[in-house]
């Protein structure tokens, strides 16, 4: 993405229309916290916002936050994004409702507005909301539809985008918003976001927007396999070595103004899909609800509020968490056991599959080697026989 800003950042939207890399960059900006800098009623250029953000000396304690804020600076300094108007920034975090929601709008020079929804941040509230998706709708989905109805107008054209949970919110908002706004949506892009849980939407609502919906996933995909829906799908190559790191858009491969894509899914994606479907099939929503409540009650008792606390706490904190989880309600334990059983069974089959692939490759190589040796013998045997005959004479 930084290469894109270097080589294409001086080209305006009038000369090169909105593309899938622009979508990645604007989805990244939604993760930057503009709290105390930009209110819902403020309007300013991206260049002005970038200047205020750095003047405010905002907290950039993690490498990822620093990287995203650096992207903000590069975009603010560019011809392509610098004059884009930023407005209606909204962010809220409500523990009692397990609600983490943020969204922002960008007016582009091509007379379209990008509505970008934030995915899951480092707060445990955000992660809890993600797990709630396994058994019901979430508060952020209603917030997303309300946000669109409140701030979108009937005369602009809109693109709804987001990464991870943000992609889910973009999809939900496009389906549930007011009809006059829905008619003005020209694109909905979910960047490795989960689909919608069956029963939380009407199929006719989805059919109305399906032609404009695109799902972009990395070739090693995990999140995008959850509640898959019939949408245009792009599989992008990634430099990541695992499904977890491949979820980060910073690992997705970009060339000029487009993503480097492939047509095939990795074995890791197929395995993850199988695990997710098996777990959902072997549990009911009520069981998953009990498990999620028990899990986060335990984490709350330990005073854990962010994902970053796990890495800082190290092994001592991990042992505390495991001891606390061992005291969970029996129903919650049963769900946890089923989850671990599903993972172990499929990881076992994954290991077997991997070993068989290596064995087949080894057999092929040795077979090819044997064929090559035999071919050489056939070719040189007459010459060897002739040389022996000459030596004997």
Lowest-confidence region among 56-65, 171-180, 356-365? 356-365
**3-state class percentages of the chain: helix first, strand second, coil last, to nearest 5:** 55, 15, 30
- Answer whether residue 310 shows pLDDT above 70: no
- Output the pLDDT for position 251: 92
- Name the CA radius of gyration of the chain, rounded: 26
Lowest-confidence region among 42-51, 210-219, 369-378, 381-390? 369-378
Side-chain-facing half-sphere of 119: CA atoms under 13 Å: 21
- φ/ψ of 252, rounded to 5, equals -80, 140
- Answer whether residue 170 shows pLDDT above 70: yes
The two three-digit tokens of residue 143, written as one number: 């917030």
Helix (H, G, I), strand (E, B) or coil at 5: helix
Above pLDDT 90, what percent of the chain?
43
- Output the pLDDT for position 363: 55
What is the arithmetic mean of pLDDT over 47-59? Answer: 82
What's the CA gap between 227 and 343, in Å, rounded? 18
- Given pLDDT bands bounded at 50, 70 and 90, which one contains residue 93? confident
CA 85-19-262 angle, to 5 degrees, is 145
Q: Which of 175-189, 279-293, 333-347 is modeled with the greatest confidence?
A: 175-189
What is the arithmetic mean of pLDDT over 271-296? Answer: 79
- Given pLDDT bands bounded at 50, 70 and 90, which one contains residue 226? confident
- φ/ψ of 263, rounded to 5, equals -100, -10
What is the arithmetic mean of pLDDT over 66-78? Answer: 90
- Answer whether residue 231 shows pLDDT above 90: no
- φ/ψ of 262, rounded to 5, equals -135, 165
- Given pLDDT bands bounded at 50, 70 and 90, which one contains residue 368? low
What's the CA gap between 193 and 314, in Å, rounded? 29
Mean pLDDT (the chain) is: 82
- φ/ψ of 72, rounded to 5, equals -55, -45
Predicted TM-score (pTM) above 0.85: no
- Output the pLDDT for position 342: 60
**Which residue ranges form the domains of the chain, and what is each CATH number?**
2-266 (3.40.50), 283-359 (no CATH)
What is the arithmetic mean of pLDDT over 84-90? Answer: 97
What is the arithmetic mean of pLDDT over 273-296? Answer: 79
What's the CA gap between 19 and 191, in Å, rounded? 13
**33 compared with 275, residue with greater pLDDT:** 33
Task: Tell me how crowded residue 344 is: count the other CB atoms within 10 A of its CB.
Answer: 10
**328 compared with 224, residue with greater pLDDT:** 224
Please check whether residue 186 is in contact with residue 158, taking contact to mean a CB–CB distance below 8 angstroms.
yes
Residues 6+ positions from 48 with CB-CB distance below 8 Å: 76
Lowest-confidence region among 2-6, 83-87, 139-143, 289-293? 289-293
**266 compared with 37, residue with greater pLDDT:** 37
- Answer whether residue 240 shows pLDDT above 50: yes
Residues 6+ positions from 327 with CB-CB distance below 8 Å: 298
- φ/ψ of 119, rounded to 5, equals -85, -160
What is the arithmetic mean of pLDDT over 355-370? Answer: 56
- Given pLDDT bands bounded at 50, 70 and 90, which one contains residue 351? very low
CA 300-306-308 angle, to 5 degrees, is 135
What's the CA gap between 269 and 225, in Å, rounded? 8
**62 compared with 187, residue with greater pLDDT:** 187
Q: Which residues of 32-63 are buried (b: 16+ CB within 10 A; e: fewer)?
A: bbbeebbeeeeeebbbbbbebbeeeebebeee
- Output the pLDDT for position 68: 82
Residues 6+ positions from 127 with CB-CB distance below 8 Å: 120, 307
Please tell me what DSSP assigns to residue 105: E
Helix (H, G, I), strand (E, B) or coil at 99: strand
- Output the pLDDT for position 360: 59
- Output the pLDDT for position 234: 95
120-131 pLDDT, tens digit each:
766 666 567 767
> Between the CA of residue 318 and those of 299, 310, 313, 314, 387, what are the distances in Å?
11, 7, 7, 6, 74
């Amino acid at each position: 993405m930084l290469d894109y800003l270097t080589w294409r950042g001086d080209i305006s939207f009038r000369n090169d229309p909105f593309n899938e890399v622009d979508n990645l960059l604007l989805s990244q900006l939604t993760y930057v916290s503009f709290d105390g800098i930009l209110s819902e009623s403020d309007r300013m250029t991206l260049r002005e916002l970038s200047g205020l953000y750095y003047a405010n000396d905002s907290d950039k304690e993690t490498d990822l936050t620093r990287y995203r804020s650096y992207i903000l600076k590069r975009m603010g300094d560019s011809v392509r994004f610098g004059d884009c108007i930023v407005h209606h920034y909204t962010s809220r975090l409500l523990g009692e409702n397990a609600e983490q929601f943020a969204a922002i709008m960008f007016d582009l020079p091509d007379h379209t507005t990008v509505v970008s929804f934030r995915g899951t941040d480092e707060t445990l509230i955000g992660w809890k909301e993600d797990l709630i998706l396994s058994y019901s709708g979430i508060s952020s989905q209603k917030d997303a539809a309300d946000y669109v109805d409140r701030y979108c107008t009937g005369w602009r054209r809109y693109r709804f985008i987001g990464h991870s949970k943000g992609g889910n919110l973009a999809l939900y908002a496009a389906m549930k918003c007011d009809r006059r706004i829905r008619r003005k949506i020209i694109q909905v892009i979910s960047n490795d976001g989960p689909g919608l849980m069956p029963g939380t939407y009407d199929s006719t609502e989805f059919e109305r927007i399906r032609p404009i919906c695109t799902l972009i996933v990395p070739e090693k995909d995990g999140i995008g396999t959850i509640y898959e829906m019939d949408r245009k799908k792009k599989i992008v190559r990634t430099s990541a070595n695992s499904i977890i790191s491949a979820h980060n858009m910073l690992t997705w491969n970009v060339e000029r103004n487009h993503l480097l894509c492939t047509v095939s899914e990795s074995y890791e994606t197929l395995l993850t899909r199988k695990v997710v479907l098996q777990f959902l099939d072997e549990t009911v929503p009520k069981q998953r609800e009990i498990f999620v409540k028990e899990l986060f009650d335990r984490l709350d008792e330990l005073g854990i509020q962010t994902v970053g606390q796990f890495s800082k706490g190290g092994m001592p904190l991990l042992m505390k968490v495991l001891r606390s989880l061992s005291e969970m309600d029996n129903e919650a334990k049963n769900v946890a056991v089923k989850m671990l059983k599903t993972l172990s069974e499929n990881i076992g089959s994954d290991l077997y599959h991997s070993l068989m692939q290596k064995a087949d490759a080894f057999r092929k190589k040795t077979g090819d080697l044997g064929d090559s040796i035999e071919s050489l013998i056939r070719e040189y045997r007459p010459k060897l026989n002739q040389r022996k005959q000459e030596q004997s004479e």
